[in-house]
Amino acid sequence: MTGEIVFAMYRPYAATSRKAMLELIQQHNTTLRVEELITDRPAILAEAEDGTFIEIFEWKPGAAQKAHDHKAVQKLWKRMEELGEFSALISLAESEKPFPHFKPVDGVVT
């Protein structure tokens, strides 16, 4: 059984939420690693032109479902929803291009 690559997108409601969202993304990535829900594949964080963050990582087999029942992960997701919305790839202007480009965000995920 193989893992799954996920593109998780978080759009902060306001510019003032940007820093707080970045902190939560870092906590999210760290929690998923510590709880062994994601693989050792390095995660990537990028930012779309509209300020949406795209966290790209690989779930371990069956871990996505486990995350939905994990209290620490649920707490992070709830806080993320308070600061912004979970958005879809199609909502990004970049998704209309055959080779979308995003700005890298360094130092947040591993």
SS (H, E, C) 26-94: HHHHHHHHHCCCECCCCCEEEECCCCCEEEEEEECCCHHHHHHCCHHHHHHHHHHHHHEEECCHHHCHH
Query: Would you state the pLDDT for residue 1?
Result: 67
11-45 pLDDT, tens digit per residue, is: 999 888 999 999 999 999 999 999 999 999 999 99
- The β-bridge partners of 4 are 59
At 12, list the tokens: 């902060």
pTM: 0.94
At 58, list the tokens: 């690989």
63-100 pLDDT, tens digit per residue, is: 999 999 999 999 999 999 999 999 999 999 999 999 99
Distance CA 91, CA 102 (A): 14
At 28, list the tokens: 């999210």
**CATH number of the 4-95 domain:** 3.30.70.1090
